[in-house]
Amino acid sequence: MSETILKAEHLKKIFTSGKKTFMAVEDVSFELKRGQCLGIVGESGSGKSTIAKMITHLVDVTEGNVMLMGRDITNAKGKELRRAYQDIQMVFQMPMESFDPRRTLGDGIGESLRNIGMSRSETKRKVEELLVRCGLTPEFAERYPHQVSGGQCQRAAIARALAVKPSILICDEATSALDVTVQKQVLELLLELKEKEGLSFLLICHDLALVQAFCDEVLVLYQGKVVEQGIPDEIINHPTEDYTKILVESVL
């Protein structure tokens, strides 16, 4: 059995606005092993992005813990938080929006490298290498976000995430906005990174078929709770929860 790299323990998120409170995530636990892909599926509003945001500190955790390679990073700050961010990178649904429209893709991809003091020429070389690794050509470094397709932009976003050599990529609906064929190509890139480089993935999506093709394990989330958890084929062939049955039927 491979090592557990990321662990969520009884995560809970309550959003409050004024006097109103809303429980978006209720008692979610899971383990991600090195080199594996864990899928989180559920309809819109089920709490998927909130889980990703708690792991990456974009929202704080109401209750529970996030463990990265045995270290509790739930309330990490400063240097410890920056180190955790190097290990966990996120790829979002709208790649165009995640790049500054006034700067080239190369600038965006190389930003984190420049920030850690890499020279301009070394950064340029590294950015080109990252682009090639993600199925693009070095010349894409000179292009602006509006000069590439959605799929190319998502490849560039993956290249940017890989720049800091993470162990885990969290893909939050990273392919949902792409055409089916492009979606498949981007997923194949992710699978290649998983198989060749041992990267671990948290693949968040609402598409069970996609999870079946790419994930080793899946959590089915419904209204902030895990209603089913296991190997995708088994869950799809023998769903035990009513909600999962509905999800499965919507795929077939």
Measured from the CB atom, is 48 or 155 closer to ligand ADP? 48
What are the C-alpha distances in Å from 191 to residues 3, 173, 194?
A: 19, 15, 5
How many CB atoms are located within 10 Å of the residue 70 CB?
A: 9
**Per rule CB under 6 A, is residue 110 in the interface with ligand ADP?**
no
The correct pick among 24, 32, 88, 170 for binding ligand ADP (CB under 6 A) is 24
Measured from the CB atom, is 49 or 89 closer to Mg ion? 49
Measured from the CB atom, is 43 or 129 closer to Mg ion? 43
What lies within 8 Å, CB to CB, of 118 at 6+ separation is 110, 126
Counting residues that bind Mg ion (by CB under 5 A) gives 2
Tokens of 121: 């020429």
CA-wise closest residue to 104 among 144, 48, 152: 144
The correct pick among 36, 46, 49, 212 for binding Mg ion (CB under 5 A) is 49
The pattern of x and - marking residues 36 through 55 that bind ligand ADP according to CB under 6 A reads: ------x-xxxxxxx-----
**Per rule CB under 6 A, is residue 15 in the interface with ligand ADP?**
yes
**Per rule CB under 6 A, is residue 21 in the interface with ligand ADP?**
no
Q: Which does 22 bind (CB under 5 to 8 A by kind): Mg ion, ligand ADP, none?
A: ligand ADP
Measured from the CB atom, is 23 or 164 closer to ligand ADP? 23
Q: Which residues of 158-188 are buried (b: 16+ CB within 10 A; e: fewer)?
A: bbbbbbbebbbbbbbbbbebbeeebbeebbe
Report the nearest approach of ligand ADP to the CB of residue 222 (Å): 10
Q: Which does 232 bind (CB under 5 to 8 A by kind): Mg ion, ligand ADP, none?
A: none
Measured from the CB atom, is 15 or 197 closer to ligand ADP? 15
Report the nearest approach of ligand ADP to the CB of residue 173 (Å): 8
Residues in contact with ligand ADP by the rule CB under 6 A: 15, 22, 24, 42, 44-50
Residues in contact with Mg ion by the rule CB under 5 A: 48-49
